Structure 1
């Protein structure tokens, strides 16, 4: 065990794994370092050229905008967008300076600019980036009080800022698609190791500790799935060819499914009856009644030792030695019945799952690192390696077609959002100028921001609430920091850099925290510009509240998209993807030609992720509708359970050409037809149409198969039947919270 667990496990390796698990791909760290690097470099260059504080602030804010606005993944596309962004920024600041002397015309132009910036999202990442640069730079011109006489100095400062942003992006803190994918793989390995640690805690948890242990397994499973999705969305840019991308995608899916199944079987072994898969996906669900793991103490001790060995195998890095090979061989041997220890059937299932997880880990390592040393292979390891090689050879690359936007005119999301934010900004300008003729633009900025990455009134309301909350605490922090810094310009700029880093590092984690750091930073900027006062920061809070209110009013009254409607649309999409994956997987298991099952499973996961985000207003802790919150969480958990079983079926179906213990059985299509039909019935009802039939229940999938002809078609593994039955049960369970009628079988 020690030989397997210690090679390469230095303190630096453990720290690296911790960072990888907490920040997959180091995306947050990279965003923070890039932005701070660009701002610091711009400040250093401008200060050395003798620019004043106003130009320094302009350069710092422009460098920040030029860094975070770029959204493309490929370096060439990033360079083009950055080059296009400079003239857009220069034109925007020039118009801001010229129109500052004509308030009415300037306000009207600002509204038009906001509309165009949001509408530009329909043209992809570049349109989004250029719109963001245009809006933010116009805001900078208002913030520093730009005038036409100052334009040459502003142009120079902004050109330096863009150059510094490019230098940091492409030279000092470079990120290539291949390098990012390597870090994401490292994150997947680290999070898989943490999930196995959670399984160990679940094995040893006392009954009163089971809820906490189960919550750790849930969290670990969700984070592993999150990393798998991040890898899948970047495979095409980070791998040399499509075939290699599909191979990695397959091995990532195998490892994720195997780890989730290991946790489920371990929970079942400790429960009085087989645990429901829903328990692993429903937050806050109580742990089932558990007792001591059945079986002799020797088997329990052996399982604990093997889980520790599995964790070491997952986290192992470097050259494999004899100890690593020995551990790998021992774990893979559990895939053969004769090597299972004497224990209850439930505990033996856990040992089988350990063996399958070890096989998935080996397959993932081969896919990522190439062929491994085979000199110490046992017969079980050699057989697993042969299966993996056969599966790799059978993987065929396929094309993935994009889905066209079905909406036109005001129904197109980008157009609707542009109209809404334009109306909201108009209200914010009017209300903001009533509060202050000098700082009214803060209300417009807040109104703009609450519309970014939102699609329904509920999402905008939650985002506005979070921004207001962060601003309240940020005002207090800004007052304290301004009092500490006083007139020390260097200390203020250093604190600004720190706050910028924290702002971007925490943005994906908490919008409230990000708003807090933004407001605290602005307090320091006002100090640098010698415009700081208690009244200014209080006004900032008032303008923020006004802007958030204007955004919510515009979203609720102008072309509104209710949260219920948005979630229903996404729910229908999830159900359609679920039906497609299930139907295709069952068809392939029944003998139909193969298809792009893993691509369809990825589309299902992405649709489910969109639904999970859209339901946040319904599941937010402050929502007064407790019953609806519980219902939304239950539906999402059931869908995650369905997605797990559908992914497992898809992965099993792709084993058909190579796996000796799985054979096609034409009876499966008829037996699983009820499940697919039920999914489509629920989708039809959720879409508001009249379903041709009710959700049907009846005999189990296994009983529908019957016994006749089993020898003729080969062995359909118990795992396939379990997934089909669990999926059937979960789909029927969806009917009640979605208010779809269920018909009982005729007696």
Structure 2
């Protein structure tokens, strides 16, 4: 390899690592956009000889205009910025004119309620509410008085203008650009997962647990990226047909990658590996799977997994040359039983089949994203067949009718989450104002800010408690850092603002990763701002910590006393939603596989994944390391892992069912309708017990799903493997649903008459 080729390979590897660590470059974009807006504002305002107060006002306006506006489309962002500027001026005016009066406090409390309540109107409501609150807070922070108010209008306007210029002209992140970066991140994370699977195949007894944990983590990261892509398809694709194609190919690739990991686990064990092993932290392989098997077939498998990784990393533009075409042809050939290594064990042969299916998924994804991956003259017969299948599926997707989504009944009054949260924040803020005045009549607003922030993106008392703990920890550490930085900087304004830019970047870059680190950098930055405003002292930073603790405590008290949403109640509510979505996907997929009407299965599967993501977030207080309830933590992890297992098998059933209109190698089997009835009934039974309904029954157990089928085409050569895969997913789904009985205390009722009808 030449030096130029090595340099290109190194740059490509670096881009892939960056793309995988920050999908869509969303964190990097947020950090660069905020810092660039801040720097440009400081430059513009500084040119006119502005005072320090004006520099701070412009900088904070640029920051809030950047991070508060989070709509995905350009037009929506522009409208929010345009409406946000007069809102900022009005809020800044009220805060300054009414400062120190009872009316000012009353207006601030009303503004807090309105800022939270208006989030029910979507991203624009969130943006305007955030801008109004932060502008009022800015008026209290600066404390310039009525005589200095006119001098703040133009720096705030400059901050909004600079934010818009950076957003639309310099650090652009339009829907199409973000979706393109997310697709690159999906490829990079797919390749990382394959690398982890190679390590799992080769790992010895001492490395098996670490290798398995790495596969679990990278499987979860791949799923996270797939969900991010699906959430941006509407804005980032030209039409519904393109969105459907990408959605289908992303789902296929994710399922193929996860199934490949499961097959490797099975190949390492004397028995079929449980899907739960991929989702439950701490689960280990059976003892018989600790020693890696090394023979010629496994060596060839190792080579082909590395070849699959190369295939994944190559984009459509890079997919040239006969060498890569030969690799693709070889991998796709494993979809044909005649091309499988004859000397390999049955489990290893299944892994080769999984490699072939993964290669097909990569090929379909590449066609959907960037056109034909290579010259078709290089195709082998197996590759040509795969291409024809993909084209037939794409045509079927293009001709499908789009059904309107069912709208859920909207909650009203205090049952609406935004209204309830607004009431809680308002009461907590009143308590914070009263307590903050006792600590400091000049800086009571810090307590209000802490109370406000602990309610952002939380939905239960447990989530608020965890967020308050993280904010207090970050603030305490930030106070120490602020003391050190303020002492080092002194009155060197240029150095202080340069450090502020660095801290702002780190705040926004790490916000999605760690709330504690975000709070740390924010507090350290405020120490520098106090230095610039000539109000810095050790007592001020200690007061900042005390006000933060007070505000967090007031927020927690309001969450507990005012319309509380207990963590257990919230998780039960979300658990029922997940079970309902799971039942819908399973019912629709089995119905379509048995010859019933088609449905939009991928959208249903996406709704299931979204509901499962909400449940996973809501259980964080139960699984947090500080929780003293160890048994509840283990139960929550086990239930979520079982539901992730159910979701994987439901997604696989949905993907297989959607192949029916276009694939002649797959036929509907009417017998599957009866086989899936027990699963759906059991899912509904579990949901009824979680809701504590009086009509809740018992879970049915008995013979395997396969034994419930009549003799027939199940054993036929043409449909055997596909039908076997469907039955395997149904059986595993049945087992996973039954596995929820013990932790959720659902009674089991063995069936006395199974009517066993094995083929």
Aligned partner (choices 428, 435, 446) of residue 431 of structure 1 = 435
Number of the residue aligned with 1:746 = 752
Deviation at 1:149, TM superposition (A): 1.1
For residues 407 and 401 of structure 2, the distance between their equivalents in structure 1, rounded to whole angstroms, comes to: 19
Residue 616 in structure 1 maps to residue 628 in structure 2: no
SS in 2 for 1:320: coil
| Cα gap change, 1:613 to 1:692, in 2 (>3 Å) | closer
Query: If the length of structure 2 is used for normalisation, what is the TM-score?
Result: 0.96
- The structure 2 residue matched to 1:316, chosen from 314, 317, 326, is 314
Contact 2:714–2:723 (8 Å) recurs in 1: no
Match in the other structure for 1:382: 384
- When residues 402 and 31 of structure 1 are mapped into structure 2, their CA distance, relative to the original with a 3 A threshold, is farther
Alignment-derived partner of residue 461 in structure 2: 457
Determine the C-alpha separation between the residues in 1 that align with 2:472 and 2:301: 51
Please point out which of 637, 655, 666 is paired with 2:659: 655
Aligned to 2:75: 76
Equivalent of 1:530 in 528, 534, 540: 534
User: How far is the alpha carbon of 1:369 from its aligned partner?
Assistant: 0.3
Whether the 8 Å contact between 1:333 and 1:355 is mirrored in structure 2 is yes
Q: Partner residue of 1:587?
A: 591
Q: How far is the alpha carbon of 1:692 from its aligned partner?
A: 4.3
Please say if residues 66 and 133 of structure 1, whose CA atoms lie closer than 8 Å, have aligned partners that are also in contact: yes
Equivalent residue for 1:212? 210
Q: Which residue matches 2:120?
A: 122
CA distance in 1, matches of 2:596, 2:368: 27
Aligned to 1:301: 299
Change (3 A) 1:159 1:350: same
SS in 1 for 2:149: helix
- 2:7 and 2:333 map into 1 onto residues whose CA distance is 25
Q: Kindly indicate whether the alpha-carbon contact (under 8 Å) linking 1:269 and 1:293 is maintained by their aligned counterparts in 2.
A: no
Query: How many residues end up aligned between the 2 structures?
Result: 742
Partner of residue 193 from structure 1, selected from 183, 191, 194: 191
Structure 2 counterpart of 1:717: 723
- 8 Å CA contact 2:88–2:135 kept in 1: the answer is yes
In structure 2, how many angstroms separate the alpha carbons of the residues matched to 1:75 and 1:673?
A: 47
Superposed displacement of residue 710, structure 1:
4.6
Q: Deviations over 1:376-399 (max 9, x none)?
A: 000010000000011111112524
Separation in 2, partners of 1:250, 1:69: 33
Deviates more, 1:175-184 or 1:401-410: 401-410
Shift of 1:332: 0.4
2:358 maps to 357
Residues in 2 aligned to 1:739 and 1:255: alpha-carbon distance in whole angstroms: 36
Counterpart for residue 566 of structure 1: 570
Q: CA deviation at 1:400?
A: 4.5
Shift of 1:320: 1.4
Question: Structure 1 651/8 Cα, relative in aligned 2: closer, same or farther at 3 Å?
Answer: farther
For 1:402 and 1:594, how far apart are their aligned partners in 2? 17
Runs of 5+ consecutive residues of structure 2 not aligned to the other structure: 754-759
Q: Helix, strand or coil for the counterpart of 2:535? A: coil
- 1:271 deviates by 1.1
140 and 665 in structure 1: CA distance in 2 versus 1, 3 angstrom threshold: same
1:129-528 map, 5 Å: 129-289=127-287, 290-294=289-293, 297-317=295-315, 318-341=318-341, 342-372=343-373, 373-395=375-397, 396-401=400-405, 403-528=407-532
- Distance in 1 (CA, whole Å) between partners of 2:466 and 2:407 is 29
Aligned to 2:733: 727
1:686 to 690, 696, 714: 690
Give the deviation of 1:657 after TM superposition.
1.9
3-state SS of paired residue (1:743): strand
Residue pair 2:95, 2:139 contacting (<8 A) in 1 also: yes
Q: Is the 8 Å Cα contact of residues 58 and 155 (structure 2) preserved in structure 1?
A: yes
Structure 2 Cα separation of the partners of residues 146 and 665 of structure 1: 76
Q: Quick one: which of 662, 672, 678 aligns to 2:676?
A: 672
Does the Cα contact within 8 Å between 1:82 and 1:166 map onto a contact in 2? yes
RMSD between aligned alpha carbons? 1.5
1:485-526 CA-to-partner distances (Å, cap 9, x unmatched) read: 111100000000000000000000000000000000000000
Residue 757 of structure 2 aligns with which residue?
none
> 1:539 and 1:181 mapped to 2: Cα distance?
44
* Deviation of 1:288 (Å): 2.9
For the residues of structure 1 that align with 2:144 and 2:533, how far apart are their CA atoms? 13
Structure 2 distance, partners of 1:431, 1:407, is: 34
* Contact 2:579/2:687, CA 8 A, preserved across alignment: yes
Could you say if the C-alpha distance between residues 106 and 562 of structure 1 is closer, same or farther in structure 2, counting changes exceeding 3 Å? Answer: same
Q: Which segment is superposed worse, 314-323 or 525-534? A: 314-323
The residue that corresponds to 1:96 in the other structure is: 95
